Structure 1
Amino acid sequence: RGGPTACEFSFVLETLGSKIAAHEGEYADSDCYEILSELALLGRYELRALKLELRLAIEGVRADKFELPYRIASERTGCGFLILPVTREFHDRAFNALQSLSLASKHELELERQVGIGMWKNSEFVDVEWIFLEGGNPPDPDLEGRLAFSYPFRRVSEQRLPPIFT
């Protein structure tokens, strides 16, 4: 619906739609469809939380302000979402950072699936990149050691969202 953040959420979703449309004739990028499926499984309050974090990330990118990644995880669906705002200084390493932080988040939160959303400003426009990770989380002492040495995330706070009755 309306509101000041509605267009920002639509903008981010449109980037996923554009990615699907660009590859429609060549080959099907199944990751995009998996991401759409995970978004469709979210409840209203989970979508509201994701929308808020997307808005905060876009504001950080537009201001070229360093922000730690934003994360939400749905216990109900077993999927996490990581939103990575990237400053211009780190633009050249943005995609690698998105991949490694998404993997670290998936591992730390012990999730089966993780959607990574990276945002950076390449010109006057904000670019959005999506990745989808799926699979188990076998023990990884190297990754756990790196997380213990330099923790790249905001401290996790659990928040139960109210149930939706239809």
Structure 2
Amino acid sequence: VIAEAELEIDWVVRLISQVRGVRAEMNVPPGAKIPLLLKDAGERAKHCVETQVALIVGLARLSSLDLLDGEVPSGAVQDVINEATIILPIAGVIDLESEKVRLEREIARQDNEIDRFEKRLGNEKFIANAPDEVIIAEREKLDEARQIRIKLGEARERFLAAS
């Protein structure tokens, strides 16, 4: 019984975290209450939703939480969590066109940062003269910029699928 409860809470925490992450990526205002739809939910996911709906709605700042059997509404962002697809209809909450422009601008900025770090780390003179700590720091900055770029790319893909 305890193991089952742990699995349920773990699933709920992952769901809430994923919803919050998508909200942040898509620049949904923190106070905006949006609906959450679950599609292709397995039995465990359905059980978790039924027993923890109030907790999920409150912590993920949702207006509602429902299971979806039909088509995904247009203007909705989709993501996958273990046994279900989460769908967040955001078209009425954010300006889709300005969000697209913002994402493209952020991606271009990250691409420039990555190029700058790669050029610096590819410069033999820099590598020969810079202290090891500086080189390590530059490599870490490059890795961080690449991770941010990946996340922005994923956000753009979710956004394009929604629009």
**Is the TM-score greater than 0.5?**
no
| Structure with more of its chain in helix, by fraction | 2
The alignment's TM-score, normalised by the length of structure 2, stands at 0.27
Flag the structure with larger Rg.
2
Relative contact order, higher structure (CA 8 A, sep 6+): 2
